[in-house]
Amino acid sequence: MALNSLGREIPESYAGKPLIPYGDPYAIRPQGNVAARPLKRVNPGHNKRLSSLREAIEASGLKDGMTIATHHSLRNGDFLLNRIVAEIAAMGLKGIWIASSSVHPVHAEIIPHIKSGVIAGFQCGVNGLIGEMATKGELTCPIVVRTHGGRARSVIEGSVHIDVAFIAAPCCDEYGNMNGYYGPSACGSLGYAQIDATYASCVIAVTDNLVPFPVVPVSIPQTLVDYVVVVDRLGDPAKIVSTTTRVTTDPVGLQIASYASQVIEASGLLRDGFSFQTGSGGISLAVAEKVRNAMRKGSIKGSFGCGGITGYFVDMLEEGLFSALMDVQCFDQEAVQSIGRNRAHQEISADMYANPFNAGAVVNRLDCVILGATEVDTSFNVNVNTESNGYLLHNTGGHSDTAAGAKLSIIVAPSIRGRLPIVRDRVTTITTPGETIGVVVTERGIAVNEKHAELKEELVRRKLPVKDIAELQREICRVTGTPRPLEFEDEVVAVIEYRDGSIIDVVRRVKE
């Protein structure tokens, strides 16, 4: 056990690998070269098409203990991972690791295969039941939670090697060229899969929409793809949307959004060339709407919108408020349609989006990002992975990446959830370090990290309710009372890897 710089106890190793305790957001310098994979040769006349997933898995040479990956661009509408795992189980393989870009509640179907030993563990974070059961001790499998940029880093540096990448390809030709723009399972950007295609030993394109050669535009080229398999259905794109895509009408949410947009205006960042990221979700979209109105009013021409892209950002692009969208993942159908028709809606890989170990990621160019939280502590550390019951329920996404990259990261959250205060002495799990968080906005006040002293002064001048974060906490706790601390066992059920590969926190089994 060692303490990391945020005071969290980090074991020396986890799932057979030594761990590096987190130190600070920017210090670790990578060594060596990017990972390699075998050279290949395909001669004229070669047929990449195979008739079934089973045949493709056999051809890939997948063996016990190897690692597979899928992308999560279809989010909770993905059918592929469940089918692959069922096929692997039917083939009698054991001890397979999953290094997908994310795992969603729909993948709870694979839980029996975790229990039976077909699946050994996760080199990625998980959303939903798998994490909950792991934290309760009902499921034993290591989980290494990574940020989007951190996952790209781990694959590119080779600390995670993907043996076989299965890529859901909504529009694909028989030689493996693909994009996500068109077809019945269109999901838009294939930003996560681009990493898998480039670094996996074997790449299998799986499609429900085989079109004549060549697919254009090419998101992932034929040169990276070994096999092509046609299935009846990749997924249900209607389920890409995981949260609401409408601006909230809840007065509390609107109050938070109003404060957040005033913080952005006060920051001085809202000028020509402004770059911006928000998630989906009612409060984020309400902030986006207010920012849009402010940009219109001030005739401000932004630079780019980034991240998971929503129809809201598409409208802003088409209105001329941004000159480009940098899209690693589409969050709704409007975004999917836009990326297929608008050249200024640029698909980017997870590497380009957020990897800390390259010559510069897009997040480094962000002015402002709006992020959520399940909890925040008085040192501005943020939890998005676990809920206040201690269960691991959410993956990190690009949270820590954008917080570290953007000039100003703003957390928006209601001060009370259920009956619990959002600001704590200590968050249950640290996902994103407080030193990368600029401002916490709740309906009861705005807390500014002291590194943004000028912004704080300006907010006070504008008569916004600026409060010391401890004062904000006291005020909330006067309403809610102080919750009893959770109790945990020693057993570590998941580690939270920071984007640079160091360990920022661990998730322990909850004492029930």
Partner 1 sequence: MAGFKLRRSLLYVPGNMPSMLQNIPIFNCDSVIIDLEDAVPLSEKDAARHLVKRFLLNYTDRNKELLVRINPLDTKWGYEDLKVVLPAMPDGIRLPKADTPEIVERLDTLLTEFEEELEVEIGRFGILPSLESALGVINAVGIANSSERIFALAFGAEDYTASMEIERSRGGEELFNARTRVLWAAKAKGIQAVDTIFADVSDMEGLRAETELAKRLGYTGKCLVNPRQIEVVHDVFAPKQHEVEYALQVIEAIQRARQLGTGVIALGGKMVDAPVVKRAARVLRTAYAHGMVDTLIDEEAIHGAQ
Stretch that binds partner 1, among 156-164, 182-190, 254-262, 494-502 (CB under 8 A): 254-262
| Closest separation in Å from C-beta 255 to partner 1 | 6
Stretch that binds partner 1, among 30-38, 54-62, 200-208, 253-261 (CB under 8 A): 253-261
| Closest separation in Å from C-beta 444 to partner 1 | 5
Enter the tokens of residue 99.
């290094």
Residue 376 or 472: which CB sits closer to partner 1? 472
Stretch that binds partner 1, among 35-43, 81-89, 252-260, 487-495 (CB under 8 A): 252-260
Q: Is 328 helix (H, G, I), strand (E, B) or coil?
A: strand
DSSP secondary structure, 151-218, as one string: HHHHHHHTSS--SEEEEE-SEE-TTS-EESSSSTT--S--TTHHHHHHH-SEEEEEES-B-SSPPSS-
> From CA 381, how far away is CA 67, in angstroms rounded?
32
* Residue 418 within binding range of partner 1, rule CB under 8 A: no
Asked if 66 contacts 96 with a C-beta cutoff of 8 angstroms, the reply is yes
Contact code string over 452-481 relative to partner 1, x by CB under 8 A: ---------xxx-----------x--xx--
Strand partners of residue 144: 495
| Closest separation in Å from C-beta 483 to partner 1 | 17
Residue 255 or 364: which CB sits closer to partner 1? 255
Residue 271 or 462: which CB sits closer to partner 1? 462
Residue 164 or 256: which CB sits closer to partner 1? 256
Residue 226 or 443: which CB sits closer to partner 1? 443
Best CA proximity match to 376, nearest among 343, 413, 405, 404: 413
Sole binder of partner 1 in the list 251, 299, 418, 484 (CB under 8 A) = 251
| Closest separation in Å from C-beta 264 to partner 1 | 16
| Closest separation in Å from C-beta 282 to partner 1 | 13
| Closest separation in Å from C-beta 278 to partner 1 | 20
324-330 β-sheet, strand order: 345-347, 324-330, 304-309, 276-277, 368-371, 408-412, 439-442, 445-448
Type of residue numbered 294 = A
Residue 453 or 479: which CB sits closer to partner 1? 479
Residue 326 or 459: which CB sits closer to partner 1? 459
Interacting residues with partner 1 between 258 and 287 (CB under 8 A): 258
364 backbone dihedrals φ, ψ, rounded to 5°: -65, -20
493 backbone dihedrals φ, ψ, rounded to 5°: -100, -20
| Closest separation in Å from C-beta 382 to partner 1 | 21
| Closest separation in Å from C-beta 468 to partner 1 | 14
* Residue 252 within binding range of partner 1, rule CB under 8 A: yes
Enter the tokens of residue 290.
């207010």
Asked if 151 contacts 122 with a C-beta cutoff of 8 angstroms, the reply is no
Residue 72 or 290: which CB sits closer to partner 1? 290
| Closest separation in Å from C-beta 499 to partner 1 | 34
Residue 252 or 420: which CB sits closer to partner 1? 252
Contact code string over 431-450 relative to partner 1, x by CB under 8 A: ------------xx------
Q: How many residues sit close enough to partner 1 to count as binding (CB under 8 A)?
A: 14
Longest dimension (CA), the chain: 74
242 backbone dihedrals φ, ψ, rounded to 5°: -100, -30
Sole binder of partner 1 in the list 254, 291, 376, 503 (CB under 8 A) = 254
Best CA proximity match to 145, nearest among 191, 102, 200: 102
Strand (E) or helix (H) holding 459: helix 453-461
Best CA proximity match to 474, nearest among 486, 485, 466, 482: 482
Asked if 373 contacts 422 with a C-beta cutoff of 8 angstroms, the reply is yes
Sole binder of partner 1 in the list 249, 343, 418, 490 (CB under 8 A) = 249
Interacting residues with partner 1 between 296 and 335 (CB under 8 A): none
* Residue 255 within binding range of partner 1, rule CB under 8 A: yes
| Closest separation in Å from C-beta 481 to partner 1 | 13
Quick one: how far is CA 486 from the chain centroid? 27
Type of residue numbered 166 = F
> From CA 328, how far away is CA 169, in angstroms rounded?
15
Residue 87 or 475: which CB sits closer to partner 1? 475
> From CA 282, how far away is CA 279, in angstroms rounded?
9
Residue 440 or 493: which CB sits closer to partner 1? 440
Residue for token pair 């597979």: 68
Residues of this chain that bind partner 1 (CB under 8 A): 249, 251-252, 254-255, 258, 443-444, 461-463, 475, 478-479
